A and B are shown apart, each in its own frame.
Chain A
Amino acid sequence: MRRRQSPVFWVLVVVLTVVFVAPLLWMMITSFKTIGESQQVPPTLVPQEPTGRAYGEVLTVGGQNPVLRWFLNSLVAASLHAGLVVLVASMAGYALARMEFRFKKPIFVVILATLFVPGFVFLMPNYLLMDKLAWLDTLWALVVPGAAGAFGVFFMRQFFLALPRELEEVAMIDGANAWTVFTRIILPNAKPAIATLTVLSFLANWNDFIWPLYVLFSPERLTLQPGLKLLQGAYTTDYPVIMTGATIASVPVLILYIFVQRYVIEGVARSGIKG
């Protein structure tokens, strides 16, 4: 395993890299083309007359397709959602990892079991619930229901299980109560897990498609994902505009990903195995 890698290996790595990067580059290149050039056969690899027209069209404030507004909506919803997930999941995960109580096992088993229930089962009843709560077409529908997912609790529990006991014991002997121990000792030691869960929850919410597609109606309240579908419907053949929308929806998460990829990859890895 430690020998030098063969040329074939490196060819494979480079080809794969091209395959993964090319579609994204193509999307960004197209956003700077004219409509005519975007449909040219054969395609041009570099825009012949680069134009920011599509960006102007899409970023106009108060237009039919307020991409900036959708961007802001996505940002607010995903941030609030991630905050809520971290709060409730770390509290619940801590109790399940470190406390003894009567219904611990059944509660954990029921929460865990829902990890394997497909999401579409909740689609319609939760839609009705949104209607009853008057949350349809509001930020609430985007932020709150998703925070009931089992993943965060499971993830935080696994992390807390691995923390050394001595951390809490010393504080408790000093007379600290459970809440103080949790906020002063446990949470500061859980920063990597919290960062990971924040990023994963943010991304999941930012990228959600089917739920916002149905619970949001007003064009100005949409998030980017259903907004892009609206864009596709409105500019059927204007690919520069559509690719501009897609670029605006992807560049921020790609930049975020470059900075936090260690957390994202670790989080995904840990979600699969250490259970």
Chain B
Amino acid sequence: MAVDAVAAPRTRVRRSSGAVRGYGRATPYLFLAPYLVLFLLFVVGPAIFGFWMSLHDWDFQLPGKPWVGLQNYKDLFDPLSTTAEPFWHGMRATAIFTVASVPFLVTLPLGLAVLLNRRFPGRTFFRAVYFAPYVLGVAVVGLMFRYILDTSFGILNAFLGLFGVPEIGWTNDQPWAFVALVGMTVWWTIGFNAVIYLAGLQDIPAEQYEAAALDGANTWQQFRHVTLPGLRPVVAFVVTITVLASANMFGQSVLVTQGGPGDTTRTALMVIADTGLSQFRMGQATAMSYLLAACLAIVSLINFALLRERKS
């Protein structure tokens, strides 16, 4: 590669203390160049161009792509347009899934992390087991649960039947479909958040627990007054990435409920992908994605404001 270019314009060996010298002015940019080319081409460019698309009646397959200004956005708020209804149904499904899954995906991994933070033989092994599902793709997880959750011959209903529970329509009846989607998502991703919490727990100095114990705090009080405040930034981070991940929900619905029953689990991302990449109405679809992204940005800001304020 650009070895010579990097080597050639050598100047000072060191200017200020700390920073490494002995390279030319262009060198940092040459190190950054391969990544920045990709970044501009596949991230920055598309983000801007996508917004431009959303201002057009952009049909991928048609030669003309007339400028429509904010019409695609206005349509999303006009009940009579063809895009508003499916979009808001999708938003509702995404919102329900997010509101239903985030509390579990934030609290259960915390419980698991506290459990795994104890010292006991085999801890590393169990940690690995609980994390294992996360290394599987959504397609594997989806197909596996499609079978486990089958109403008539799925093993979950057979198991519950042992306790006299009647058949449950996990994939074709509400609210069970959402229960199933949230449950399988918790199964799949609990280890991910738990590991992030674990790292946070290990950063809390042991002296704080010792001091609390000396003050006579019991286990719960130690959790409440030492663990939780110590984890606050980690919780803020976990909430943010979990909301983002839940709002991106796609594969579970596609593979397990096929968006049903009705269109109740057809998420916003399914609507966007369908509008843009199956019907090729990309102007409308990009408008939907930017509106959804704006909603998520607002949620993230609120969440950070809330979790930060309580600290001070």
Residues in chain A within 8 A of chain B (CB atoms)? 1-2, 5, 9, 12-13, 16-17, 19-21, 23-24, 26-27, 30, 38-43, 87-89, 91-92, 94-96, 98-101, 104, 107, 110-111, 114, 116-129, 131, 144-145, 147-150, 153, 165, 168-169, 172-173, 176-182, 203, 206-210, 214, 224-226, 228-229, 232, 239, 242-243, 245-246, 249-250, 253-254, 256-258, 261, 264-265, 268-273
A242 contact set on B, CB distance < 8 A: 143, 146-147
State how many angstroms separate the Cβ of A66 from the closest Cβ of chain B.
Answer: 16
Contact stretch, chosen from B96-104, B174-182, B292-300? B292-300
Please give, as numbers and ranges, the residues of chain B lying within 8 Å of A100 by CB-CB distance: 15-16, 19, 28
Interface flag for B87 (CB, 8 Å)? no
> Which one, B19, B35, B119, contacts A99 given CB within 8 A?
B19
Q: List 23 A-B contacts (CB under 8 A).
A: A2-B119, A17-B129, A87-B34, A95-B28, A95-B32, A98-B19, A101-B25, A110-B44, A114-B39, A114-B44, A116-B240, A123-B273, A125-B49, A125-B53, A148-B43, A149-B43, A165-B20, A178-B23, A209-B250, A246-B140, A253-B135, A257-B132, A258-B128
B133 at interface, CB cutoff 8 A: yes
* Chain B residues positioned under 8 Å from A118 (CB to CB): 244, 247-248, 292-293, 296
Closest to A203 in B: B135
Q: What is the interface size of chain B, counting residues whose CB is below 8 A from a CB of the partner?
A: 103
CB distance from A73 to the nearest CB of B (A): 14
Are the C-beta atoms of A148 and B41 separated by less than 8 Å? Answer: yes
Residues of A within 8 A of B133 (CB): 20, 23-24
List residues of chain B with CB within 8 A of the CB of A144. Answer: 38, 42
Supposing A12-B115, A13-B115, A177-B23 touch, asked if A88 and B34 sit within 8 A by C-beta, the answer is: yes
Complex: how many Å from CA A94 to CA B139?
Answer: 36
Q: With A26-B155, A169-B20, A268-B192 given, is the CB distance from A91 to B34 under 8 Å? A: yes
Which chain B positions have C-beta within 8 A of A145? Answer: 38, 42
Whether a CB of chain A sits under 8 angstroms from the CB of B27 is yes
B296 surroundings in chain A (CB, below 8 A)? 118
Closest chain B residue, CB of each to CB of A228:
B139
Cβ–Cβ contact A121 & B115, under 8 A? no
Residues of the A chain whose Cβ atoms lie less than 8 Å from the Cβ of B50: 121-122, 124-125
Q: Which residues of A contact B36 (CB under 8 A)?
A: 92, 107
* Nearest CB in chain A: distance from B34 CB, A: 4
Known contacts A39-B152, A91-B31, A179-B3, then 10 further A-B pairs from the complex at CB < 8 Å, ordered by chain A residue? A1-B119, A20-B130, A41-B158, A118-B244, A126-B46, A172-B14, A172-B20, A179-B7, A209-B138, A272-B196
- List, in ascending order, chain A residues with CB within 8 A of B46's CB: 121-122, 125-126, 129
Is B80 an interface residue when CB atoms closer than 8 A count as contact? Answer: no
Q: Which residues of the other chain, A, contact B131 by a CB distance below 8 angstroms?
A: 261, 264-265, 268
A148–B238 Cα distance when bound, in Å, is 23
Alpha-carbon gap, A190 to B128, bound state (A): 24
* Cβ A168 vs Cβ B140 within 8 A: no
CA gap between A121 and B269 in the complex, in Å: 10
Is B128 touching A111 in the complex (CB atoms < 8 A)? no
Distance, CA A264 to CA B130, complexed state (A) = 13
Q: Are A23 and B187 in contact (CB under 8 A)?
A: yes
Using Cβ atoms and an 8 Å threshold, which residues of chain B touch A214? 273, 277
Shortest 8 CB-CB distances between A and B: which pairs? A207-B137, A125-B46, A269-B199, A272-B196, A92-B35, A95-B31, A178-B23, A148-B42
The reply to whether A246 and B144 form a contact with Cβ atoms under 8 Å apart is yes
Instruction: Specify which of B60, B132, B196 lies most central, judged by the most chain A CB atoms within 10 Å of its CB.
Output: B132
Nearest to A248 among chain B residues (CB) is B140
Identify A124's interface contact among B42, B198, B286, CB under 8 A. B286
Cβ-defined partner of A206 (8 Å) among B137, B187, B251: B137
Cβ–Cβ contact B43 & A122, under 8 A: yes
- Cβ contact within 8 Å between B135 and A264: yes
- Checking A27, A229, A254 against B135 with a beta-carbon cut-off of 8 angstroms, the contacting residue is A254
A201 vs B24: C-alpha distance in the bound complex, in angstroms? 32
Q: Are A117's CB and B47's CB within 8 A?
A: yes
Contact of A272 among B3, B13, B209, B238 (CB under 8 A): B238
Asked if residues A99 and B148 are in contact (CB atoms below 8 Å), the reply is no
Closest chain B residue, CB of each to CB of A180: B7
How many Å lie between the Cα of A122 and that of B286 in the bound state?
A: 9
A233–B60 alpha-carbon span in the complex (Å): 27
Question: For the complex, is B76 an interface residue (Cβ under 8 Å from A)?
Answer: no
Residues of B with C-beta under 8 A to A12: 115
User: Measured between alpha carbons, how far is A263 from B290 in the docked complex, in Å?
Assistant: 35
Determine the chain A residues whose CB is within 8 A of the CB of B29 once the complex forms.
Answer: 95, 101
A114 to B45, CA, bound (A): 12
Give min CB distance, A140 to chain B, whole Å.
Answer: 11
